[in-house]
Structure formats: C-alpha cells, structure tokens
Amino acid sequence: MASLEELKAERLKKLELLKQAGFNPYPAKTDIDSTIGETLANFDSLAEKEKTITTAGRIMAIRRQGALIFIDLVDDGNRLQGLLKEDDLGKQFTLFVETIDLGDFIQIVGKLMTTKSGEKTIQATNWQIIAKSLRPLPDNWAGLQDEEERLRKRYLDILTNPETRDIIEKRSLFWQTIRNFLLKKGFMEVDTPILENTTGGAEAKPFITHHNALDLDVYLRIAPELWLKRLMVAGFDKVFEIGRIFRNEGMDAEHLQDYTVMEFYWAYADYEQGMKFVEDLYKEIAEKVFGTLKFKIRGFEVDLDQKWERYDYTEIILEKTGIDISQASVSEMEAKLDDLGVKYDKKGFNQNRAIDNLWKYCRKQIAGPGFLINVPVIMEPLAKRSTKNEDLVERFQVILAGSENGKGFSELNDPIDQLGRFAEQMKLREAGDEEAQMQDDEFVEALEYGMPPTCGFGLSERLFSFLLDKPIREGQIFPLMRPKGK
C-alpha cells in the first residue's frame, strides 16, 4: 500500500498536468447556474426542457466502465450522478482519467437525464477543475477509526460520516428552535461582554488572560447572567443571549471548557412561571429538532410528554443516602461520600461542596423529566429566598437522565441580601474554594437602582448532547483537542 507521501506526490504530478493542459487548478470563481440541490429540486423540468446547466461539487466516487465514467458529485449533502463519455469529451475524457481523484472539486456542464436504473444524472459536455485535492479522503465506509483523529479532523468526519453531518445540522436547528421560541414570546436577543473584570453568574473556575491595552488581567466569562440582569435594571422586560462561556475545569462526557449557552430573563415572572415556560420550551426543542418526545438517554427511558415531577433537594438526599443535610456536619457528609465511593476534590472542601457531591450522587439515579426545587440558600447566592422557608431559595433545575440540564431562579433583586451572599462566597474562596463566586460590587450597585421581580433561566449544549445520547464533545462542531504528539 502506498504511503501518504507517495499518494500526495502522485497528486502533485496530476496538478502539474492540469496546469500544462491550461487549467487553473484553483480558480477564484465558477460559472455554475444551478447548485446540485437546485438541480435535484428542478430536475424533471430541466430534463424535459433539455436545458444545458452548469453545476459543481466534490467527487466522492468514480466508476469507470471502458469509454464511460460515472461519478458521484456531492455538494451540501446533495448527490448527483455525473456521466462522462469518451465520444463526447475526447481529450478531456483522457485528461479526466489522468488527473482527477476522489476529493477533487469540478464544475460540470451538460444536460440532465435519467438512466435505465432510474439514477438522476448530468451527462457532461464539458468539465473543469475548480479545486484539486492533494490528500486522499478517508474510506467512505470505514471512515476515521481513531477516536482522537476523528475529532481532530472533524471536517473529514463530517464529510465522510452522514451521522456526524446530521448532528451538525441538528445542532444548528437546536439553537435556531430556541431562538425562534423566545422571539415569538416577545424576548429580545442581545449580546454581552466575554471579557470581565470580575466573573459571576455561576460557581466555576475562570480562565484568566491579560488585556494589553488596559494593562490588566481579565477573566473569560463563566456566565452572562450578571450582565443580562443589568438589562433588567435598565428597563427591558424580556431578554436572552445565546453565546459562548468558558470554565477552566475538568473534561468528561458532560463537561467542556468552552461551550454555548442560552440564558433568558423575564421581568415580573417567578420560578413557578419559569418552570411551565421551560417545560414548553423543551418540548418544542424535542419535537422540532428530534421529531419525538421520547428518548433513550444514558440507559434511562425519558418521556418529555409525561408529568414533570418536582424533586425536593433535602428529601431526595435523605431518601437516597440517609443524610439530612440540614442537620449533618461536614465530617458526617464526608464520611458518607467515602462510604458511597464518591470521588471528589478535597481542595477547598466545605459544607457546600459536601452537599453538592451528595446531590450529584443522588441525581444519577433520577430519570426525569422533572424539576429539582427547595435548594438551601447556602448553595445558591443569586436566587431569591423562598417565601415559605427563608433557608431555601426559589431555584429550579431540569433533571433528565441523571443529570442537570438547565437551571433557573426567581432572581435575587435585594441588593442588601445579594451583598451578604457575595460576602459568604468570598469567605469560601479565601478558604480555598476556587469555584465560589467573586464579589461583584458593580452588580450590587446596579441592583441598588432597582430591578423588578424576575425569572431567569439558562441551558447549555449539554441538553443537546443528552437528547442525542452522545458525549458532549460529539455534539460540538470542532471540540478542543490536545495538539498531536503532546
């Protein structure tokens, strides 16, 4: 079997032959008047009129039968068969045989016909190279077998694997469905800063970079939340953002360091209204993107059309671990985690981390769909206290297939309470908890001007990967990979 370098050298020779024949192997423009998609859509009419058309695409298959060559020409997921006859093309036929490979892009001129086998075909009267491929494509059937190589060369995986292409198309539809749903409900789309002086809106370790013009260290945002709530202070009633966030944490099937999220904020609404709204949104996503409300995810059967349950945070942990988080000490919770075989980061370990790790153990046993509610106030510095119990907050999290797939609150708009919550978070940071939130005095100042009662909610592309039942980086177009050889 020829090596890659030998194959590339052979293609470079063909490149020179094309140049010698007077072709520019990489022209700036083409003369197409009908894309392959348009050609297929209007095929019967164009064929009946015997109209000569010019189309173009990548050659994904070549089948020679003596003086005939059949090719598969592909563009934007559409395939059209091409037929080249030696009698029609003469020297151009020979040049095609001598210079063209799988992966090359060509422009083809001809009339449409249907073969005896019913294959829609363009019979060439002329062809022209428009981009010569210098590397052979992976085998269409075997594709890229190495997992790391497949993700590193995602463009080839998309090109040769219909399932991967379908994922990318569904991903686009996923975000567009969310956008359309919110726009129809009267929300305005906005974009907010990615570089921040202070991170906030979530408990996560940020990335740090240096801003040369201002000569100061800044953070890549871990959430757009605090910016969007400033817009509620500014007098907007309904806003949302779809954008990138960055968290300098671990990688696994559910977590990445840079990914897309959506957050919306709705003035004069609370978390009860938010739960109904989110349930409708998730059903819309499922039906529009996947065509079903029933999913098999991580071994769970999930039916979004069934009643969405309410899961009480303290009761669920007590039921599944025997620990009452309202009474147990940190050492008791730590001992239980060890008994359960839960692995956790002991750096900066505190009451919050103990409770959170117990909950993460429990949630893996819940299929959903449903909402986690009644979270202790110490676990959520940005949510409004419950009117029924001051020690709890009005937070709701979507639980699907053993994981959290979206979170929202009745937003805390009391600046005095917010400042106190930030102060508690800073104590945790000073004690070594790198995920605790930073104190954002400018945000508190904004709250002091007044923010209306508001419901906020956010989801990430984790939801998309769960509905696909794929690891999260499988749902990304170009996941970040370690450089080859490192």
- Establish if 338 belongs to a structural domain: no
pLDDT for 140 beyond 80: no
pLDDT at residue 473 greater than cutoff 50: yes
Domain assignment of residue 38, yes or no = yes
Which pLDDT belongs to residue 265? 98
- Same domain membership, residue 212 and residue 112: no
Angle at alpha carbon of residue 112, lines to 106 and 117, rounded to 5°: 105
Q: Is 72 helix (H, G, I), strand (E, B) or coil?
A: strand
Q: At 56, phi and psi to the nearest 5?
A: -155, 160
Which structural domain, as residue segments, surrounds residue 99?
Answer: 4-131
Question: What is the Cα–Cα distance from 411 to 239, expressed in whole angstroms?
Answer: 14
The answer to whether residues 117 and 160 belong to one domain is no
User: How is residue 146 written in tokens?
Assistant: 């190495």
Q: Are 268 and 396 contained in the same domain?
A: yes
Q: What's the number of domains the chain is made of?
A: 2
Based on the domain organization, do 203 and 124 belong to the same domain?
no
State the CATH number of the domain containing residue 459: 3.30.930.10
Mean pLDDT of 247-261: 90
Mean pLDDT, rounded, of the chain: 94
Are residues 313 and 298 in contact, defined by beta-carbon separation less than 8 angstroms?
A: no
pLDDT for residue 62 is more than 70:
yes
Mean pLDDT of all residues in 107-119: 96
Position 143 confidence tier, pLDDT thresholds 50, 70, 90: low
Asked whether residue 352 is domain-assigned, the answer is no
* 57 and 201 belong to one structural domain: no
Give the model's pLDDT for residue 250: 83
Q: Which of 131, 164, 192 is the last residue of a domain?
A: 131
- With tokens 């790391």, the residue in question is 148
Would you state the pLDDT for residue 386?
Answer: 95
User: What is the structure's pLDDT at 144?
Assistant: 63
Q: Which residue has the higher pLDDT, 382 or 201?
A: 382
pTM of the model: 0.91
**Paired tokens of 37:** 């998609």
467 Cβ contact partners less than 8 Å away, ≥ 6 residues apart: 285, 286, 289, 290, 295, 297
The yes-or-no verdict on residue 145 having pLDDT over 80 is no
80, 115, 131 — which closes off a domain? 131
Phi, psi (rounded to 5 degrees) for 267:
-70, 145
Q: Residue 382: name the closest of 324, 428, 353, 424 by CA.
A: 424
Strands 370-373 and 309-312: parallel
Is it the case that residue 298 has pLDDT exceeding 90? Answer: yes
Taking residues 428-446, report their average pLDDT: 87
Mean pLDDT of all residues in 5-13: 95
Distance of CA 138 to the CA centre of its chain: 25
- 281 within some domain: yes
**What sign results for the dihedral spanned by CA atoms 101, 105, 110, 115?**
positive
Residues 126 and 168 grouped into a single domain: no
- pLDDT over 70 (residue 169): yes
Give 336's contacts (C-beta < 8 A, 6+ positions apart). 321, 322, 323, 328, 358
- Please enumerate in sequence order all residues whose Cβ is within 8 A of that of 384, keeping only pairs 6 or more positions apart, or say none: 393, 394, 409, 410, 411, 412, 413, 414, 453
301 sits in which H/E element:
strand 300-303
Whether residue 58 is found in the same domain as residue 123: yes
Query: Token pair for residue 242?
Result: 């779809």
125 shares a domain with 176: no
Cα 370 to chain centroid distance, Å, stands at 23
Q: Are residues 125 and 216 in the same domain?
A: no
Rounded Cα distance between 394 and 410, Å, is 6
pLDDT given for residue 141 in this prediction: 44
Q: Average pLDDT for residues 471-486, to the nearest whole number?
A: 88
The tokens of 324 are what? Answer: 């009452």
Tell whether the model's pLDDT for residue 408 goes beyond 80: yes
First to last CA, the chain: 28
Q: For residue 80, which of 63, 105, 55 has the smallest C-alpha distance?
A: 55
- Residue 472 tokens read as 């999260």
CATH of the domain at 53: 2.40.50.140
126 and 213 housed in the same domain: no
Both 301 and 402 in one domain: the answer is yes
Q: Which two tokens stand for residue 325?
A: 């988080």
The answer to whether the beta carbons of residues 429 and 381 sit under 8 Å apart is no
Predicted pLDDT of residue 251: 84
Neighbour-count burial of 465, counting CB atoms closer than 10 A to its CB (0-12 exposed, 13-18 middle, 19+ buried): buried
In a domain, 304, yes or no: yes
Q: Are 204 and 225 in contact (CB under 8 A)?
A: no
Select from 67, 99, 131 the last residue of a domain: 131
- The neighbouring-strand residues paired with 240 are 189, 264
Residue 419, SS3 per DSSP: helix
Same domain, 125 and 9: yes
For residue 44, the tally of other CB atoms under 10 A from its CB is 11
Q: Which residue, 267, 207, 313, is CA-closest to 456?
A: 267
Q: Is a pLDDT exceeding 80 seen at residue 486?
A: no
* 167 pLDDT above the threshold of 60: yes
Confidence (pLDDT) at 437: 86
140: left (phi over 0), alpha (psi -120 to 50) or beta: alpha
Is 446 a member of any domain? yes
Angle between helix axes 461-468 and 162-184 (nearest 10 degrees) is 130
